[in-house]
Amino acid sequence: MTENIIIIIVMFLFLFLLVSGQYISTILLFGGIVGLYLLGGMGRLNGFLQSEPFNQVTSYSLTTIPLYILMAQFIIQAGIIRDFYTLIYKLSRGKSSLLGVLTILLGGFLGAVSGSGTATSAALGQVAVPELQRRGFSDKLAAAIAASSGSLSAIIPPSVILIMYGVITQTSIGRLFAASVIPGILTMLVFIVVTIFLFNKSKTDPTASSGTTTIEEVPVKQYVIIITAGILIVAAIFVGIFSGLFTPTEAGAVGAFISFIVAVLLGKFTMEFIKTSVTETLKVTVMAMSLVIGASIFGRFISLSLIPRKLIGALEPLMEFPMVILILILLLFFFLFMFIEGIAVLLMTLPVVLPIIETLNIDPLWFGVMVSFICTLGFLTPPVGISVYTVGAVTKIPIEKIFRSTFVYALIAFVVVGAIMILFPQTVTWLPSRM
């Protein structure tokens, strides 16, 4: 059986399983097993299955994932996000547009602290959306602000997307974190401008809004604790890694420890607190490990079937125009992130795309941040839009309404920030070069 026929069979099987709703990890593993068997028989398949899964999950780089997830869970279960929003609400002093801007800033800060876009979107959907509605924001815009704020965690470190990219491509996770800081800030600024524009365009009468919730009072002592904790966590992650004091894994451990101490000081430490935090961390970690195992086997099939070399050969006429190929690849990622969860897209595509990127002499550090940025936009675009679905689930606002606004956020950010990163790659590479 020729390689081309095997590739067609495996890709058809892949698409069939994807459409039938199977887990991505299962699809990658099964597709890889079938492909390797067809290419080299049972002997070659056994060789990979006996060593590859163990080698992948024992990677030191993967230890960063459970630590950052545990940190995020401690922050969520301690109610820190809700307390932060109470402070933001008070700082706005009744100014509606300022409240929207501060909500975006809070989402970026929480993304930097927790690295969990879904959790941030859910929390802001519960806390921020009713207050935004009461301050004159339409239902769809209030929900879009919460979803956009949560999506920032994909580009602002510690991002699980960046961690997975670093693991797959053997790129320094610390340098990826540093490289994503400026693009993350630019994306946040674009979201702020879009928020002000959309609010001014669709002002509503505050008395006609549907939200009537009131923010509970929080003691000043509690504010001091959570603000101090936030500063310490950010310092551990950014300053610690940038200065070389901590590795990314150590920074995650320090952040999780600080979050735990804060939960104790706030009186939230209970057995239920520990049980929920550890359980959720295990769920996400096992999911990530399963994806890595499936992707490693599928990646072996991709390499042995010579798909990257065939694609490079097919793109040979365009090799004189690397910018055209780069834009096509980025559009492909944008399209995939609209339909499939972020980590799964990376694991499926990077084995194919990376050889092309290397042939074009594109910096893998820059490319990783660009892909992470596009993933941020994928959280906001239909039909998947994880952040949008999360906010819609907690607010009961129809997701089709939210998508109308979040698509504007994604499109403008793609045009503005994407263009800046392509025209001025120093926005990505400058900070890592100073490490």
Q: What is the mean pLDDT of residues 38-60?
A: 78
Q: What pLDDT score does 211 carry?
A: 44
pLDDT classification of 193: cutoffs 50, 70, 90: very high
Q: What pLDDT score does 326 carry?
A: 86
State which of 178-187, 203-212, 386-395 shows the largest mean pLDDT. Answer: 178-187
Q: What pLDDT score does 115 carry?
A: 55
Neighbours of 394 (CB within 10 A): 17
pLDDT classification of 75: cutoffs 50, 70, 90: confident
Cα–Cα–Cα angle for 73, 79, 85, rounded to 5 degrees: 120
Q: Could you tell me the CA-to-CA distances from 390 to 137, 192, 230, 397 in Å, in that order?
A: 19, 21, 24, 11
**pLDDT-above-70 percentage for the chain:** 89
Question: Which of 55, 292, 290, 27 shows the shortest CA–CA distance to 47?
Answer: 55
Q: What pLDDT score does 421 carry?
A: 92
- For 200-257, write each residue's pLDDT tens digit: 887 654 433 444 445 556 677 777 887 887 788 777 777 787 777 888 788 888 888 8
Handedness of CA 189, 190, 193, 194 (dihedral sign): negative
- For 92-130, write each residue's pLDDT tens digit: 665 667 778 888 887 777 666 655 566 677 767 777 787
Q: Could you tell me the CA-to-CA distances from 349 to 102, 163, 244, 337 in Å, in that order?
A: 36, 16, 32, 11
